[in-house]
Structure 1
């Protein structure tokens, strides 16, 4: 297989495969993605048949900046993974992914993100979930009626008020971890896609101050929340009351809320309390680089431990590392000491992202502890976090 970074000459083959596997070429998203975004903002890798020159498979690397361990970190979001039907069943994804990893490591990247169609496709390559959501699916009328807050008002609005949405988003997500730092370009891309897909918007105000917004759609009798950001609980409840008022236009309600959302406490029927929904996967592609990027280390986190990392796909990640932590700095070097902790790169990724603690991963046999003092140190180096992300392309 011949791997290539896609250019304008080979882009039509990418477009044809996308049309076959994902959105059709007459849909708003397809038109926006390939006219305004693809190759202008991202990088695409393709695997080609060396004899025929046909495109065999592809993946797209869309750039984002997320806040990770107190640092704004640029990393790619893998989308558009597809294999042409005539080449399926040949296990061609692995070499394409390995090529992508090599390119990204050379660029200094430490992590990648991915939203899977099926986790089973990507877990063999040691991707794992670092983001979860709380899924609500219920009859629209089952939403709580609630009490109207006297100084709160609702205002339907167009999608052109970028600065209003951005201010609320930045305020709400300031306390979140792993969240995308949306700049003006990100917002313009997002709202352009929403416009094409006929997503609607509503603001909630307390007095004259905007306290939240909701992007939503009404399709096939379902009121679907695309994104709800509220600076206070009363603002969230007002937006949900707004949704409930659409019982003449819709019958059902769908929302992927933050994993810590407590709306279920106000529901009258417990069967609609919702469920935990795995959302976004991540993978570390350069363990040393990831450790060197740690800057948000508490001053009282001090000590030494030996960490053994196993990576089946990227042998360069394999190794026994000594971590020396002192004065909010970390020093890393190879060692022949006995390992204190051992784990695979998937568990390391989940630990780094703060999705699970050392003890939680150990309880599920995702890592092995040989030294409890070292485990305590590693837990303090990587405290658990409130992860949130809501990007789809």
Structure 2
């Protein structure tokens, strides 16, 4: 077997994807250089795929490895093969200049021992389509369904909507034509559709949807203003003769229920979604643009020992592994990520016992620096 055949075999053994989904992944995403594995002879014991994604944190755009297809053959689980592979790859990512990697966990407990923690969430809304009865038609709205033939004509409008919708988010994917093309092809694979909404010829909103049994499932539902969301809801109302339920997956802090008249009839579920791991603390702190020269933090990393030490949050981020007598608080590598990206506030982690406060001198300033923020990423591969 060649490399791709070996990668396909362990993927097919460990996951429940259809043959069409597997073919799509290996046609569109698979690269030999991004496939990492441990094996014995011709047998692949454990493997993962490190697919690069362009991500914006604050004002900095970086390429980060997104770990997918993390798997060990059933008969070799519990023998430490994935532990060795993940550790080796984290070291390699760091040597190559990556200060961060991330994944979508099946079980978060598996990854916490490696220093991963949740940094973003998602909201899911389920409601009866009859709740949309009050949305009026907007005569200034036009709708375009994206197709293989017109994608190149309209993708920049799609990008414009997405970029405006991402403005409130600290961490999000930076999408180019290739990204949108893959997203459209993934949607087509699940027999879904993508619709763009225009207000007086200006791109204003889009939704990605597919139907399953009696429900319309929406993967992304993003608009630039209230009228744009109203137009999408009116569009969904037109399916009321065929479907009775709507299910929307949305970025955290969307508050979609308040577009509807009766919030008590909307089932809303908020849950953590993606986990990440800081590989190089100093570089990551610089990208987060946190500057406070008098604040010093002791950060402990029991896996990548190079990160353990004292960090002063000046413009260049001072770092030393020599003991510092006066510092503000101690935090583990796991908890540092949700603190920096605002998934938890400083007060949240203090209350949860995840921060050891060493000095109260700068407590008020710490609470202002480490406040609530929102992040969004929604890719399967």
TM-score higher than 0.5 here?
yes
Give yes or no for the alignment of 1:331 onto 2:318: yes
Give yes or no for the alignment of 1:87 onto 2:76: yes
- Show structure 1 runs of 5+ residues with no match: 1-7
CA contact (8 A) 2:128 2:245 kept: yes
User: What is the deviation of 1:106?
Assistant: 0.7
Paired residue total: 375
User: What is the deviation of 1:156?
Assistant: 3.4
Name the structure 1 match of 2:27: 35
Give yes or no for the alignment of 1:392 onto 2:375: no
User: What is the deviation of 1:388?
Assistant: 1.7
CA contact (8 A) 1:145 1:244 kept: no
For 2:61 and 2:364, the matched residues in 1 are separated by 26
For 1:335 and 1:304, the matched residues in 2 are separated by 18
Name the structure 1 match of 2:360: 372
User: What is the deviation of 1:289?
Assistant: 2.5
Name the structure 2 match of 1:315: 305
Name the structure 1 match of 2:285: 291
User: What is the deviation of 1:267?
Assistant: 4.4
User: What is the deviation of 1:288?
Assistant: 2.4
TM-score, reference length from structure 1 = 0.88
Give yes or no for the alignment of 1:147 onto 2:136: yes
CA contact (8 A) 2:160 2:203 kept: no
Which segment drifts farther, 285-294 or 98-107? Answer: 285-294
Shift of the 362–387 alpha-carbon distance from structure 1 to 2, 3 Å rule, reads same
Alignment of 1:152-191 (within 5 A): 152-158=141-147, 160=151, 161-191=154-184
Give yes or no for the alignment of 1:275 onto 2:269: yes
Name the structure 2 match of 1:4: none
CA contact (8 A) 1:310 1:318 kept: yes
SS at structure 2 position matched to 1:67: strand
Name the structure 2 match of 1:197: 190
For 1:357 and 1:391, the matched residues in 2 are separated by 26
Alignment of 1:116-131 (within 5 A): 116-131=105-120
SS at structure 2 position matched to 1:282: strand
- Show structure 2 runs of 5+ residues with no match: none
For 2:233 and 2:90, the matched residues in 1 are separated by 42
Shift of the 342–290 alpha-carbon distance from structure 1 to 2, 3 Å rule, reads same
Name the structure 2 match of 1:229: 222
CA contact (8 A) 1:341 1:375 kept: no
CA contact (8 A) 2:170 2:373 kept: yes
Alignment of 1:92-111 (within 5 A): 92-111=81-100
CA contact (8 A) 2:10 2:71 kept: yes
Give yes or no for the alignment of 1:355 onto 2:343: yes
TM-score, reference length from structure 2 = 0.90
Name the structure 2 match of 1:345: 333
For 1:171 and 1:221, the matched residues in 2 are separated by 32
SS at structure 1 position matched to 2:112: helix
User: Cα RMSD (Å) of the superposition?
Assistant: 2.3
Which segment drifts farther, 98-107 or 157-166? Answer: 157-166
CA contact (8 A) 1:46 1:56 kept: yes
